[in-house]
A and B are shown apart, each in its own frame.
Chain A
Amino acid sequence: MTVPMTVSMTVPMTVPMTVPPSARTVRVEPCMGTVFSFDIRDPGDWTGAVADVVAWLHRVDRIFSTYRPDSDVSRLQRREIRLADADLLVAEVLDRCADLEIATGGHFSARRDGRIDPTGLVKGWAVEAASRRLRAHGAADHAVNGGGDVQLAGEPEPGREWTVGVADPHRPGRILATVRGRDLAVATSGTAERGAHVLDPFTGRPVTHLASATVTGPDLSTVDAYATAAFVLGRSALPWVDGLPGYAALLVDLDGRQHASAAWPG
């Protein structure tokens, strides 16, 4: 099942960064405890479109944040309101969580200690929705990155695929593999940035048997949940992902060895 991977990463240090004027619209926005990056490659002025998407993301944060006592999800957890009283987006996300819990055999779950907690899906779902909103504004070629979870639309320039670097969990700031594609989503679950924070839904204990799990596929909400499930599953995630058409996985173990599913596009 383990596919040896060839990874090329040369590091010449002499090439200056060139910034073609107005070729990209880049916007960076702190939200949900992390940072969202927008990179629009269509020519034009996207200030208004990005402002709309950013405002929507902050609205999602106000509804879903478990760090805000007055969010709909916090009030649901305290049973102060019913689901029918919450914003309609809450039911939409909880429905997705339920579907994904089944699809992952329970290895992704939005329930913790008997309470609902969709935090593990909200960011990936929101990035995917933000990308759809940008498309609706007319931006066909763009990338949205929510704290390391990526949704790509179209292509970065005519005739070229997007190239996504997969962060090396053992060497901060470095890339261990690249993935190319159009209309691609890439999500990574791991301990490099925030420690052992992913809990095994079956044991309730932090998962520590992998350094990271990266999953690719068409839509980020699914890919995000699959990356979490793959991280929980460990090496046995590979045969599972092999059975999912359109999805691929790259696992990095604690020793830095890479294990890719058969369809990994690297």
Chain B
Amino acid sequence: MRRALFAVSGTVVGLVLLLSFKTHPAAVSTPPAAIGTPQAGGGAAPSATPSPSSAPSSAGGSGGSGGSGGSSGSGAAKTITGEAAQTRYGPVQVQITVSGGTVTNVTAVDYPQTEPRDIQINSFAIPQLNQEATAAKSTNIDIVSGATYTSQGYIQSLQSALDRAGL
């Protein structure tokens, strides 16, 4: 179990966009009940109206708004919560469950949900990301070609899900 956890947190260093884990053995966070449950305190509010941008961003500078990472778990399964990553729609925070060295679930625990467009995006894109990661694995897709995504677009891409599966 410790080995799997270490593997995740070690390789995630390169994945600064999405999953910058800090594993605090002492910190225990309660997993959220379900996707769609608003976070207490409205922490998911985006700072501005979403505005798609075609300009490359300084991707390395994104991420890390609040959301100090933590891990919790008991028995076989371990849940790891990444730091919030800033996207063009607002902060996105992802939680993965590792069981016996296997990533068994990827869940967005925090994502923009105030603007109507946010709700449309998230009710569609974020649950689907998890489904597609699973589907791609079951059909043995190794890699994805598509129109060039921005750094932000990568976060919601199937490629990012495949990359996480390999972490």
| Given A17-B104, A67-B56, A188-B146; A37-B125 close (CB under 8 Å) | no
| Given A173-B158, A193-B150; A214-B145 close (CB under 8 Å) | yes
Which among A98-106, A143-151, A233-241 touches the partner chain?
Answer: A143-151
Q: Give complex CA distance A175, B52 in Å.
A: 23
A33 touches B150 (CB 8 A): yes
Q: Can you list 12 pairs linking A and B with CB atoms under 8 Å apart?
A: A17-B103, A17-B104, A19-B102, A33-B150, A34-B150, A164-B143, A167-B145, A172-B156, A186-B145, A187-B145, A192-B146, A195-B52
A35 touches B147 (CB 8 A): no
Chain A CB within 8 A of B134 CB: yes
Min CB gap B97→A, angstroms: 10
Chain A CB within 8 A of B80 CB: no
Chain A CB within 8 A of B107 CB: no
Contact string, B35-78, partner A, CB cutoff 8 A, digits 1/0?
Answer: 00000000000000000101111011000000000000000000
| Given A173-B125, A173-B157; A148-B145 close (CB under 8 Å) | yes
- Number of A positions contacting B (CB below 8 A): 63
Chain B CB within 8 A of A114 CB: no
| Those 3 A-B pairs whose CB atoms lie nearest each other, nearest first | A33-B56, A167-B146, A30-B59
Chain B CB within 8 A of A32 CB: yes
Q: Give complex CA distance A123, B56 in Å.
A: 13
Neighbour of A190 across the interface among B56, B140, B146, CB < 8 A: B146
User: Which residue numbers of B lie inside 8 Å of A, CB to CB?
Assistant: 3-4, 7, 11, 14-17, 52, 54-57, 59-60, 101-104, 124-125, 128-129, 131-151, 153-154, 156-163, 165-167
A17 touches B137 (CB 8 A): yes
User: Which residue numbers of A lie inside 8 Å of B, CB to CB?
Assistant: 9-19, 21, 24, 26-35, 37, 39, 65, 67, 123, 143, 145, 147-150, 152, 156, 160, 162-167, 169, 172-175, 178-179, 186-195, 197, 212, 214
B138 touches A12 (CB 8 A): yes
Neighbour of A15 across the interface among B15, B125, B137, CB < 8 A: B137
Contacts of A150 in B (CB 8 A): 143-145
A172 touches B125 (CB 8 A): yes
Min CB gap B59→A, angstroms: 3
| Given A17-B104, A35-B17, A172-B156; A12-B135 close (CB under 8 Å) | yes
Q: Give complex CA distance A11, B158 in Å.
A: 14
Neighbour of B132 across the interface among A31, A65, A174, CB < 8 A: A174
Q: Give complex CA distance A194, B54 in Å.
A: 6
Q: Give complex CA distance A26, B7 in Å.
A: 11
Min CB gap B156→A, angstroms: 7
Contacts of B137 in A (CB 8 A): 15, 17-18
